[in-house]
Amino acid sequence: MIKVGILVGSLRNESFSKKLARYVASLLPDGYVAEFVDLNLPLYNQDYDDDNRVPPAYTVFRNTMKEIPAVLFVTPEYNRSVPAVLKNALDVGSRPYGSSVWNGKPAAIISNSPSKLSGFGANHHLRQSLVFLNMPVMQQPEAYIGEVADLLDDQGKIHNEETVKFLQSFVDAFVVWIKTHPTGRALEG
């Protein structure tokens, strides 16, 4: 089994991003399992690492991410950028310097918004960080899901056939991307 870590850029219980992420996770093929990773972490402060006062939540997060060979980011857009919770998780995982949990892991991004803009700014800001973190990010297909509130029903299902087909093609492409860019853990699967 190959784990796909799913990092959702929203802490809200009933967020559109969480519903969308759960739906997309259901599209993974046999041999792949989604693991939703908790991003409710204290704000990164280098003093924690430097002074050996690492919050337990950092240790749990870092150890979890070390065991995950591929990452799917599902995020809303806040103020034309990445939500703070997601950026903080990237920072926590990238430290201490030289021990990044992100290095070499294949990644994909789905941004979404209740508006028609579909989280374009968040998607591209996130890509900039992932380049620095040395994560090969799937380029095509790009996934910008606009008017997400209208796509999801009360149970978090999507009934728009075009959207379902697109999301399945996105997941299929990501699986190929993972196979093309395996990390050590992915090779063991």
Residue 14: per-residue pLDDT: 87
Find out whether 136 and 181 touch, Cβ atoms under 8 Å: yes
pLDDT at 184: 54
Q: Considering the domain 2-188 in this protein, what is its CATH number?
A: 3.40.50.360
- In the prediction, which pLDDT does 185 show? 46
Q: Where are the domains of the chain?
A: 2-188
59-63, 130-134, 164-168, 184-188, range with the lowest pLDDT:
184-188
How much is the average pLDDT of 25-35?
98
Q: Looking at the chain, list the stretches that DSSP marks H as alpha helix, in order from N- to C-terminal side.
A: 16-25, 46-50, 56-66, 84-93, 120-132, 148-151, 161-180, 184-188
Query: Each residue of 39-98: pLDDT tens digit?
Result: 999 999 999 999 999 999 999 999 999 999 999 999 999 899 999 999 999 999 999 999
Using one digit for the tens of pLDDT, what is the confidence trace for 137-165?
Answer: 999 999 999 999 999 998 999 989 999 99
